C-alpha cells in the first residue's frame, strides 16, 4: 500500500500552516492543536485552533445535509475503485445532485470495466449527458475501461501511479478513489477543502495542490479521508464561497476567517 507521503511532497519553503508563519509561532501538538491570533469579533483571549474539535463540530453540523456525491454512492454500494473513479470523472465541474443522477444511470447500464468497455461511447455519453463536458468524459471513461480490461486483467488496481496515468485523472480523484474505495489514508482536496482550511488559517496555500501538501504534513491521519466527506456539505451549506454563514457557524470562535470580508 502506498502511503500518503508518497504523493505530493511538501517543500520547506512552500505553503505553510498559520502556526509556521514568522509572525505567529505557537506550538503544534501531535493532535494538531495550534494557536492562532485572536479572531475578529471575539472578545478576550486568543482562541486555540484545535482541528479535532473543529472537525467534530462540523461532523455534527452537517448531519442534516446530503452527503458528498462519492460518499453517497459508496454507501449505496457503488464502492469499487472503478465505480468511484467513473463517478469522480462525472463529478468534475458538475454539481453533486447531477453527478448522483448521472452516475446511477451509468451504473444501471454497466458497473465493471468490462461492461463499460462493451458499451458504445454514445450510450455512455447519453447516460452521463447532464454532466459538464459529458462527451469528452465519455471518451475518457471508455478509454479507461478498455485499458483496465486490456492491461490490468479487468480490475482497476488501488495504485496511485495507475490512476494518475489516466488522462483527465488528477490528485483529487486519485485520492478520493484510494481513500473511499481502497481504504488508504488519502486526502481528497477539492475546492471546498482548499477554501475552508485556508479560511480557518490552518493552511496558507494558493491552490488545492499546495493545500494538499500542507494537509499531508499537518492534518492528523484519522481525518485524511473524512475531511472531504465533512467539508463538501459544510462548504455548500455553511462556509459557502460567497457570503459564508459566519454568524451561525459552529466553529466561528476557532476560525481566523482569512480573506472573508463579507459574511452572513
**Residues 251, 194 contacting (CB under 8 angstroms):** no
229, 65, 62, 44 alpha-carbon torsion, rounded to 10°:
130
Q: Which stretch binds ligand SF4 (CB under 6 A): 93-101, 102-110, 153-161, 236-244?
A: 236-244
Q: Which of 151, 253 has the CB closer to ligand SF4?
A: 253
| 148/230 with CB nearer ligand SF4 | 230
Residue with cell 451549506: 237
Binding ligand SF4 (rule: CB under 6 A), the pick from 80, 239, 241, 261 is 239
173 touches 163 (CB < 8 A): yes
Decide whether 134 or 257 has the Cβ nearer to ligand SF4: 257
Number of residues that bind ligand SF4 (CB under 6 A): 14
Of these, 199, 212, 225, 230, which contacts ligand SF4 (CB under 6 A)?
A: 199
Q: Is 249 in the site for ligand SF4 (CB under 6 A)?
A: yes
Contact track, ligand SF4, 155-194, x by CB under 6 A: ----------------------------------------
How many Å apart are CA 104 and CA 4, to the nearest integer? 30
**Shortest spacing between CB 15 and ligand SF4, in angstroms:** 19
Listed ranges 1-9, 77-85, 148-156, 250-258: which one lies at the site for ligand SF4 (CB under 6 A): 250-258
Span near ligand SF4 by CB under 6 A; candidates 29-37, 43-51, 140-148, 239-247: 239-247
C-alpha–C-alpha distance, residues 67 and 231, integer Å: 10
Query: How far apart (Å, rounded) are the C-alpha atoms in residues 24 and 133?
Result: 44
CB of 20 to ligand SF4, least distance (A): 20
- Integer CA distances (angstroms), 171 to 6, 167, 218, 243, in order: 12, 12, 18, 28
Q: Which is nearer to ligand SF4, 172 or 199 (CB)?
A: 199
Closer CB to ligand SF4, 55 or 156, in the complex: 55
C-alpha distances in Å from residue 42, one per residue of 46, 83, 257: 9, 46, 12
Q: Give how far Cα 7 sits from Cα of 143, 160, 217, Å.
A: 24, 8, 11
- Cell numbers describing residue 79: 464502492
- Residues of this chain that interact with ligand SF4 (CB under 6 A) are 196, 199, 238-239, 244-246, 249, 251-252, 255, 257, 260, 263
Amino acid at each position: 500500500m502506498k502511503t500518503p507521503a508518497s504523493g505530493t511532497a511538501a517543500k520547506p519553503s512552500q505553503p505553510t500552516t498559520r502556526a509556521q508563519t514568522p509572525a505567529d509561532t505557537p506550538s503544534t501538538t501531535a493532535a494538531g492543536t495550534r494557536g492562532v491570533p485572536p479572531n475578529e469579533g471575539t472578545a478576550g483571549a486568543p482562541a486555540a485552533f484545535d482541528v479535532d474539535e473543529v472537525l467534530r463540530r462540523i461532523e455534527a453540523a452537517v448531519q442534516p445535509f446530503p452527503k458528498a456525491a462519492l460518499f453517497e454512492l459508496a454507501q449505496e454500494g457503488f464502492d469499487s475503485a472503478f465505480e468511484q473513479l467513473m463517478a469522480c470523472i462525472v463529478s468534475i465541474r458538475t454539481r453533486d445532485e447531477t453527478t448522483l443522477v448521472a452516475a446511477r444511470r451509468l451504473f444501471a447500464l454497466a458497473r465493471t470495466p468490462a461492461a463499460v468497455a462493451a458499451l458504445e461511447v454514445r450510450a455512455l455519453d447519453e447516460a452521463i449527458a447532464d454532466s459538464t463536458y459529458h462527451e469528452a468524459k465519455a471518451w475518457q471513461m471508455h478509454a479507461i475501461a478498455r485499458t483496465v480490461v486490456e492491461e490490468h486483467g479487468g480490475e482497476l488496481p488501488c495504485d496511485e501511479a495507475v490512476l494518475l496515468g489516466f488522462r483527465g485523472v488528477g490528485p483529487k480523484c486519485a485520492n478520493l478513489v484510494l481513500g473511499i474505495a481502497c481504504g488508504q489514508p488519502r486526502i481528497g482536496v477539492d475546492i471546498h477543502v482548499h477554501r475552508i482550511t485556508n479560511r480557518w488559517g490552518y493552511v496558507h496555500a494558493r491552490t488545492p495542490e499546495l493545500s494538499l501538501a500542507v494537509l499531508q504534513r499537518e492534518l492528523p491521519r484519522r481525518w485524511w479521508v473524512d475531511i472531504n466527506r465533512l467539508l463538501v456539505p459544510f462548504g455548500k451549506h455553511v462556509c459557502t464561497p460567497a457570503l459564508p454563514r459566519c454568524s451561525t457557524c459552529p466553529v466561528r470562535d476557532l476560525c481566523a476567517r482569512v480573506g472573508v470580508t463579507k459574511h452572513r
